[in-house]
Amino acid sequence: MVWLGLMKHKDKAFKKFKSFKALAENESDHKIKCLRSNRGGEFTSNEFFDFCEEHGIRREFSTARTPQQNGLVERMNRTVQQMARAMLDESGTPATFWGEAAFAAVVILNKINVRVNNTRTPHELWYGETPFVNHFKIFGSKCYIKNNDEQLGKLEPRADEGILFGYSAHGKAYKCYNKILGRIVDSIDVVVDEKGYIPRQVNYENIEEDEDYPPNQTNDEEEPQEAPEE
C-alpha cells in the first residue's frame, strides 16, 4: 500500500508519521516495529527519536548519498511524481494542483498496480476485498457539479462547471474544482464529460531536440555491405 501525506514544510514530518502510525496500526491490527528513512533533519529530531523509543520502534537509516538502500520508497516516490506530472501535463492543469494529481496517482496505484507473480492489488492485500474501479475517470476532465443551493432561482443553472481532480479520501465522492466557487469540493452528484477531453498535442520536433530523449528507432534495415574484392 502507498500512503501520501502532503506537507508545506519538512518539520511537519513527525506529526504526519504519528497520524500514519495510528491509522496503519488501527487498520492492520499490527504494530510498526521498524522505520527506515534517510538522515534528513525531519527524521532525526529529538522528539522523533523519543517517540520511536517510547513505542519500541527500531530506527534504520540509509547511508548518505546512497538512496538505493531505501530503494522501495525512492522508486515509489519517483513513480508517483512521474504519474502526477504526466496527468498535469496531459490535461493542461496548472502545477499548483500537483497535490491533487499525486493523491489521484496513489489511489490508482493502490487499486490497479500488481507485482510480479501476484495477481492481487495492494488494496486487496490490505483490506481483503476486490477494489472497485468503475468510477475511475480521466484526471482533468471537464465536469458539472450539481448545485444544491436551495435559494436558486427558477431559471438559474442547476450545475456548476468544474474540473475533475480525483476521488475523495473521506467518502464515495469525486474531488472537483468548482470554477464558480473557486475551490475544491467533494460531490457525488457529478457528470464527467470525458468525451470532451482533449489531450495536449505533443510537438514531436521538441521531443527530438531533447538530449535526454532516445533517438528515433526505425524498422528499416540497413542494406548489407558488399565484401571488398581481393
pLDDT single digits (tens) 15-28? 999 999 999 999 99
Higher-scoring residue by pLDDT: 211, 145? 145
Residue 138 scores a pLDDT above 80:
yes
Backbone Cα Rg of the chain:
24
**What's the rounded mean pLDDT across residues 57-61?**
96
Q: List, in order of start, the domains of the chain with CATH numbers.
A: 8-61 (3.30.420.10), 142-193 (2.30.30)
Whole-number Å distance between alpha carbons of 166 and 105: 9
- The pLDDT tens digits of the residues spanning 62-88 come to 998 898 999 989 999 999 999 999 999
Residue 214: the pLDDT is 45
Contact 163, 147 (CB under 8 A): no
- pLDDT band at 90; cut points 50, 70, 90: very high
Read off the pTM: 0.81
- Decide which of 48 and 197 is more confident: 48
How many CB atoms neighbour CB 184 within 10 A? Answer: 17
pLDDT per residue as tens digits for the range 180-220 = 999 999 999 999 998 876 665 545 454 444 444 344 444 44
Query: What pLDDT, on the 0 to 100 scale, is given for residue 216?
Result: 46
DSSP string, 83-116: HHHHHHHHHT--GGGHHHHHHHHHHHHHHH---T
According to the model, what pLDDT value does residue 229 have?
54
Tell me the backbone φ, ψ of residue 107, rounded to 5 degrees. Answer: -60, -45
What's the pLDDT at 200?
A: 59
% of the chain residues with pLDDT over 70: 85
Q: For all residues of the chain together, what is the average pLDDT?
A: 87
Identify whether the C-beta of residue 197 lies closer than 8 Å to the C-beta of residue 92: no
Residue 198 has a pLDDT of 61
**Cβ–Cβ < 8 Å for 65, 74:** no
pLDDT per position as a tens digit, 92-106: 999 999 999 999 999
16-30: burial string, b at 16+ Cβ within 10 Å, e else = ebeeebeeeeeeeee
What CA–CA distance (Å, rounded) separates 44 from 203?
Answer: 46
